[in-house]
Structure 1
C-alpha cells in the first residue's frame, strides 16, 4: 500500500486499524468511517463482550451519543437507580439517599449496563467497518509510508494509522510508547467485581458497607430477584503485580483482606470464589505526556483512564473518539493528532481531577475519615440532589466538517 501525502489527506481513502472493540474503539470507528476512512477493528476477545458493571454517560458524552443516533436505545436501557444505602461495619444503616446526591449527576445522565452501550455502538458501525475478533496486534513497525502490523492470527497488513482503544492495560500503548508502569498512577485501592444471586431483595438500588480501608457494594439494576453486581474494594499500599494475571491469587488476596468482615461480606467472598466473571484490578489512572507517537494514537482508557472513582471513563472514551476522528477529518496524521490533543486534554484533566471530590470518599481509609464521611452523608440526605459537576460538560463539541 502506498502512503498518503501529508499535504492532501483526502486524495485517497486512508486505511486505519483500531485495537479494541469495547467503547472507545467502536465509537472511533463510527466517526472515522463517517469521514471516509477505511476502518478495521481488531479485538482479542472472541466476540463482543456483554454484561459488565453499569456505566455512566454524562454531560458532553450525551451529545456524542445523540449525534451517533443511539441515544434513544440507551434511554430505553437506562437504569433508574433510586437509592443508595450506606451501612457501618456492623451492618447498621448510616443513611439512605438519592444517588445523584453522591455522584454529582443530573436527571439527564444515563446509567446503562456496559454491555448495552457496547452493543449499541457495535450495531451502529458493524455493517460499515471490518471487525477481526479473537486476534490481537503482535508487532508495530512504523515507516515513512505507514505502520506495518503483524497479528497473532491474521495476515500482516499496512495501515496509514493505528489507534489504541484497548484499555488501561493497552498492548498498543506498550508497543508504541513503552511499559505501563511509567504511565500508571496508582490511587491506593484494588477492587474485585463479579455477579452473584440477588438473595437480598434489592430493587434498583445500591447498598454500600464500609470499614476503614474496605468497602463492599451490592448493586441491583433491575426489579427482579436475578443477579446483583457485587464489588469488594480495599486500600492496598502497592499495586499487587503478582495477582494481575493470576485469578487464584486475586481470590486469595480479597478473601484475606475481608476475612473478619461482617454484614453480608462473608457470603460475597464465598460467591467470589465461584464467580466465573471476576474482574480484578488496581484503581489507577493513565497519564501520558503525549497521546500519539508517529502514526499511532491512543484514545479512551489507553490514553487517559480516569479510574472508576470518577465515573467518567466511558464518557471520556466517547468524547475522545469524537474529537480524535473529527480532528483527522481534514488533516494529515501529525496535524490531526496535535489538534486532538490540544482541544481535548483540558477536558480530560478536569475529569481526571474529579478523583477525591466525592467519589473517592466512598472508600475512606481511616476511622476518622469514615466518621467524617458518614456525617457528611447524613447532612446530604437532608438536602436536594446536587447539581451536575461542570467537569462532565466542560467541553462543548465542535462541529467537524469533512470536505
Structure 2
C-alpha cells in the first residue's frame, strides 16, 4: 500500500519503521524543516521494549540510556535538598529505559526502511476519502493519492481535526501547564536534577549528559490562547511565576524570555471513541494522548504503531478488520496510561502547602526505609 504518515515525532517515525518493514511504500510529512527533538527525556517501558526489539532498535535505545529522573530531588528556596524521588515512584520496572528525546528520534530516524521517505517543510491541507483511496492536498500545493493516511501529528493533530472534527470535542484538560526551556550547557559538576515547589507550582533544572533544561509546571484552569503564539506563551508563564526570585528562578525565567524554541502546552489528554474513520487512522498522541504526567507517551507510540502494522499485514486489504484489531489491542495500554496521569500531578506539584509538606515527608520516609 501507499501510506501517508502525518508528523515525524516518535509516533510518526515509529510508524515509518513498522509500516515500511511490512512492505508498504511510506511517505512521512513533517511541518517543521527538521526533526523536532526539543524536550525532556522519555521512557520506553513495558511491551514497548518488546516492540522496540522487533524493530531492531532496542540495543541502540539501551546504549543511550540516561538516569535523569532517577537523580531528581526536591529543594527549598535556598537550594537545600528536602526530599529525593525514589525510583519506585517513577518506574514500573528496573527494565524501563529513560532516553533523551533527541536520541530516540535519531535512533528511529536511522531505522527507517528504504521504502520510507521523510519530507520536511510539508503538511496536509485537505483530505478527501472516497472509499477507494484518500486524495491529499498539501500545504505546498502538491496533490497526491494514498491507500491509507496515518495521523501521527500529536495532541494538536490536524489529521484528527480534518477527519473527526474540532480538537475541543476530544480534549480533556487535566488542570496543569508545562514548559521547557534550554539553559546553558552544564559541563562537569552537579548532575542532579533539582526542583523547587510552592503550592501549585514547580520550577527546576533537569540535567542529563551536558544538557540542562528549565522545567516549569503550574496548576490552572483552561487558558484560552493560540498555542502557536510564542509571545502569548511567554506572557502566561511569566505571569504564573511572577514575584519569585528564590534559588535560580530568575535565571530560568530569563531563558523563557529568550528561547526561540520554548515549549509550552496544557497538560491534557485526547479521548476518542474510535481512532479510525474510513481510510484514516490515528496513532500516538493524536489518538490517545495521555499527557507527559503518565510517562508513557513514547511507549504508546512504539507499541501502537507496531500493533497497527501487524494488524494491517495480517488482514491484507481488510482495513476495517485491521483497524478494529489495532484498537482492541492498543486500547488497554492507552487507558492505563491515561489513568496513571492524575497521581503524577499530585506528586510533582501539590496544590497546597499542607499537601506539599506531606509529599516531602512521605518521600523522606521512603528514602530512609
Q: TM-score, normalised by structure 2?
A: 0.94
**Partner residue of 1:319?**
303
**Partner residue of 1:114?**
101
Indicate if the aligned counterparts of 1:185 and 1:285 stay in contact, CA closer than 8 A: yes
Indicate if the aligned counterparts of 1:101 and 1:380 stay in contact, CA closer than 8 A: no
Q: What does 1:266-345 align with in structure 2 at a 5 Å threshold?
A: 266-331=250-315, 332-345=318-331
Q: Please, which of 83, 86, 92 is the counterpart of residue 95 of structure 1?
A: 83
Counterpart-to-counterpart distance in 1, 2:124 and 2:85:
46
- Give, in angstroms, the shift of residue 101 of structure 1: 2.9
**Partner residue of 1:353?**
339
**Partner residue of 1:36?**
23
Counterpart-to-counterpart distance in 2, 1:124 and 1:134:
21
Counterpart-to-counterpart distance in 2, 1:97 and 1:336:
42
Q: What does 1:132-211 align with in structure 2 at a 5 Å threshold?
A: 132-153=119-140, 155-197=142-184, 203-211=190-198
- Give, in angstroms, the shift of residue 358 of structure 1: 4.3
Counterpart-to-counterpart distance in 1, 2:265 and 2:345:
18
Distance 1:327 1:174, change over 3 A: same
Q: Secondary structure at the match of 2:94?
A: coil
State whether structure 2 residue 46 is matched by structure 1 residue 59.
yes
- Give, in angstroms, the shift of residue 254 of structure 1: 1.2
Indicate if the aligned counterparts of 2:16 and 2:112 stay in contact, CA closer than 8 A: yes
Indicate if the aligned counterparts of 2:21 and 2:113 stay in contact, CA closer than 8 A: no
Distance 1:346 1:199, change over 3 A: closer
**Partner residue of 2:3?**
16
- Mean CA deviation greater in 82-91 or 350-359: 82-91
Distance 1:198 1:44, change over 3 A: closer
**Partner residue of 2:359?**
373
Displaced runs of 4 or more, over 4 A = 198-202
List alignment gaps of at least 5 residues for structure 2.
Answer: none
Distance 1:235 1:90, change over 3 A: farther
- Give, in angstroms, the shift of residue 359 of structure 1: 5.3
Indicate if the aligned counterparts of 1:55 and 1:111 stay in contact, CA closer than 8 A: yes
Indicate if the aligned counterparts of 1:299 and 1:320 stay in contact, CA closer than 8 A: yes
Q: Please, which of 233, 238, 255 is the counterpart of residue 217 of structure 2?
A: 233
CA deviation vs aligned residue, 1:138-176 (integer Å, no higher than 9, x gap): 100111211111101152111111110000000000000
Q: Please, which of 62, 74, 78 is the counterpart of residue 65 of structure 2?
A: 78
Indicate if the aligned counterparts of 1:285 and 1:304 stay in contact, CA closer than 8 A: yes
- Give, in angstroms, the shift of residue 199 of structure 1: 6.5
Q: Secondary structure at the match of 1:188?
A: strand
State whether structure 2 residue 231 is matched by structure 1 residue 248.
yes
Q: Secondary structure at the match of 1:101?
A: helix
Distance 1:72 1:359, change over 3 A: farther
**Partner residue of 1:11?**
none
Q: Please, which of 247, 266, 280 is the counterpart of residue 263 of structure 1?
A: 247
Counterpart-to-counterpart distance in 1, 2:295 and 2:189:
22
Indicate if the aligned counterparts of 1:89 and 1:211 stay in contact, CA closer than 8 A: no
- Give, in angstroms, the shift of residue 102 of structure 1: 2.5
CA deviation vs aligned residue, 1:348-402 (integer Å, no higher than 9, x gap): 101110012345411111122212211211112123xxxxxxxxxxxxxxxxxxx
Counterpart-to-counterpart distance in 2, 1:360 and 1:127:
45
- Give, in angstroms, the shift of residue 88 of structure 1: 3.0
Q: What does 1:214-233 align with in structure 2 at a 5 Å threshold?
A: 214-222=201-209, 226-233=210-217
- Give, in angstroms, the shift of residue 90 of structure 1: 5.2
